[in-house]
Structure 1
Amino acid sequence: MVALSCQFHHPINVVLKNYRRIKSKPATIFCSAQPSQSNIKVIINGAAKEIGRAAVIAVTKARGMEVAGAVDSYQVGEDIGKVCDMEDPLEIPIMNDLTMVLGSISQSKSTGVVVDLTEPSKVYDNVKQAIAFGMNSVVYVPRIKLETVTALSAFCDKASMGCLVAPTLSIGSILLQQAAISASFHYKNVEIVESRERPTDLPSADASQIANNLSNLGQIYNREDISTDVLARGQVLGEDGVRVHSLVLPGLPASTTVYFSGPGEVYSLKHDITDVQCLMPGLILAIRRVVRLKNLVYGLEKFL
């Protein structure tokens, strides 16, 4: 598809001495054909998951991108549009072979991005396959190991290809982390309280990230009671006294609160996640930015 760009040029000169010579010349039209910018072809790896289905809908609605492939080991062969309860099918079947989907998309020579929503053990091979077919990746896989990130970073540098590894896609969570870092310079007492519906992987990735950020500042917190029994006062993730308390009850929203205190005051920062939809603005931003990368970037906050 091409877009026509037309410019009208009329050889009329307002200088009177040339008026009689040129006044009878007709206007001319010059048209040039310019290729329109194609959409980013997005492959959702983990498309049958709740977050994968939300990602399919978000990409379909976003400007400048489209779902070009759906990969998962569940509901193989079914149309991803129907799986996502969309009004119209997307005519894109779920496939369980990432390589086959990558090969099909690469033949179109379009800009492609693989969104990896799988699991830590598969990320390295998935990103390597995407790079082999000339595509950048957005990885949102909680609990990915740092050695995997380090290995991928070296591979991306060598291939001059981009990859974004995002511990969180929630913009609100990132803002909470940044606010906690700012507050930590003014308070010496801090504790993190989180609630989750299920007891898996606690402390959560969000709480762990906040605790690690505060630890990296080189301060010691809660000096007055740092020797208190850990089991009674929450889990200490480092040697700096930052504790994380995890409350698990069915029906609770995913919530993270950071409490700071000083003489005569308490300062609290809170972020609640009620639906996976909160991750979609961050995902769309990540897809738009990763196509420009030539290396690995860790953390969506680098783009905010």
Structure 2
Amino acid sequence: MIKVSVVGAKGRMGSHVVEAVNAADDMELALTLDAGDDLTQITPVNTDVVVEFTVPSQSLNNVLTLVGQGVDVVVGTTGWTEDKLNQVREAVAAQQSVFIAPNFAISAVLADYFARVAAPYFESVEVLEMHHPDKVDAPSGTAIHTAQGIAASRKAAGLGPVPDNTQTDGGSRGQVVDGIHVHAVRLRGLNAHEEVLFGNAGEQLVLRADSFDRTSFMPGVLLAVRKVESGEFPGVTVGLDNFLDL
């Protein structure tokens, strides 16, 4: 049995993780901690893998503390920058594993992958992400990850900048991530949705992933826990696509 502790256990995502771990045949719930709790309670004696779902302002310190405790960590909190990732990479021990997921939904991970495949074949591309208004970061970590992957694929293919002759912006063109425009919508009734729009003269390709309920993230969370616990992925791994046969 994989002993799993959950940090952020009372949150919207953390509570679902607790339920998913309890329902998994190969896992048992160890500790459930939340804001203000002492993370040093978590040790290799009582925990094999920690799932961390908190908020961007706390996540880095939480992960560094957990790494210092000598446990493996699966991180679902978004808002990770390259500087934050490097801090974790420097802290992780040789055989320790930290996994960070821009998104745990299989549909979103596949859309992200397909976007990188399609990117070299289209002149234009924009990313639109849509979430509930309680989400604290914008654009989402998923959308940023998607845009970065598209940009890398375009660069590898020798493509130039995406055409855009807008003369006055006024903030309507969204955030630019590695040359890719990313737009964020926050609307009551939504959960987590992303569209990637590709365009050529006379044609368009739209990739869309919809997560209508937070339960859609749980198969990805449990997959990450199992992969991290296996010891096959030492160091810092970013993106659930690393655990899929793509």
Normalised by the size of structure 2, how large is the TM-score? Answer: 0.86
Which residue number corresponds to residue 300 of structure 1?
240
Q: 1:286, CA displacement in angstroms?
A: 0.5
Any idea what SS the aligned residue of 1:296 has?
strand
Which residue number corresponds to residue 32 of structure 1?
none
For each residue in 1:61-84, what CA deviation from the matched residue of structure 2 results, as whole angstroms up to 9, or x when unmatched?
11211101100138xxxxxxxxxx
Of 193-202 and 182-191, the range deviating more from structure 2: 193-202
Unaligned runs of 5+ in 2: none
- If asked which structure has higher relative contact order (CA below 8 Å, sep 6+), I would say 2
8 Å CA contact retained: 1:162, 1:294: yes
Which residue number corresponds to residue 141 of structure 2?
205
Paired letter, 1:49: G
- Counterpart of 2:187 (choices 249, 255, 264) is 249
8 Å CA contact retained: 1:164, 1:286: yes
Q: 1:128, CA displacement in angstroms?
A: 4.0
2:112 aligned with 1:177: yes
Relative distance call for 1:238 and 1:244 in structure 2 (3 A) is: closer
Paired letter, 2:23: K
Paired letter, 1:202: A
2:196 aligned with 1:258: yes
Which residue number corresponds to residue 57 of structure 1?
19
8 Å CA contact retained: 2:147, 2:178: no
Q: 1:222, CA displacement in angstroms?
A: 3.7
2:48 aligned with 1:97: no
Q: 1:165, CA displacement in angstroms?
A: 1.5
Which residue number corresponds to residue 125 of structure 2?
190
Q: 1:49, CA displacement in angstroms?
A: 0.6
Paired letter, 1:230: D
Q: 1:54, CA displacement in angstroms?
A: 0.4
Any idea what SS the aligned residue of 2:35 has?
coil
Measure, in 2, the Cα distance between the counterparts of 1:230 and 1:239: 18
Relative distance call for 1:239 and 1:133 in structure 2 (3 A) is: closer
Measure, in 1, the Cα distance between the counterparts of 2:108 and 2:91: 29
Measure, in 1, the Cα distance between the counterparts of 2:138 and 2:68: 35
Q: Sequence identity of aligned pairs in percent?
A: 29
Measure, in 2, the Cα distance between the counterparts of 1:200 and 1:151: 22
Measure, in 2, the Cα distance between the counterparts of 1:254 and 1:132: 33
Measure, in 1, the Cα distance between the counterparts of 2:162 and 2:236: 36
Paired letter, 1:176: A
Relative distance call for 1:229 and 1:99 in structure 2 (3 A) is: same
Which residue number corresponds to residue 20 of structure 1?
none
2:72 aligned with 1:136: yes
Any idea what SS the aligned residue of 2:79 has?
coil
Measure, in 2, the Cα distance between the counterparts of 1:228 and 1:183: 28
For each residue in 1:111-132, what CA deviation from the matched residue of structure 2 results, as whole angstroms up to 9, or x when unmatched?
6111111233443443344344
For each residue in 1:225-245, what CA deviation from the matched residue of structure 2 results, as whole angstroms up to 9, or x when unmatched?
3344333752241463x2223
Which residue number corresponds to residue 36 of structure 1?
none
Which residue number corresponds to residue 214 of structure 2?
276
2:98 aligned with 1:160: no
Unaligned runs of 5+ in 1: 1-38, 75-95
Matches within 5 A, 1:14-53: 39-53=1-15
Larger radius of gyration: 1
Q: CA RMSD in A?
A: 2.3
Any idea what SS the aligned residue of 1:168 has?
coil
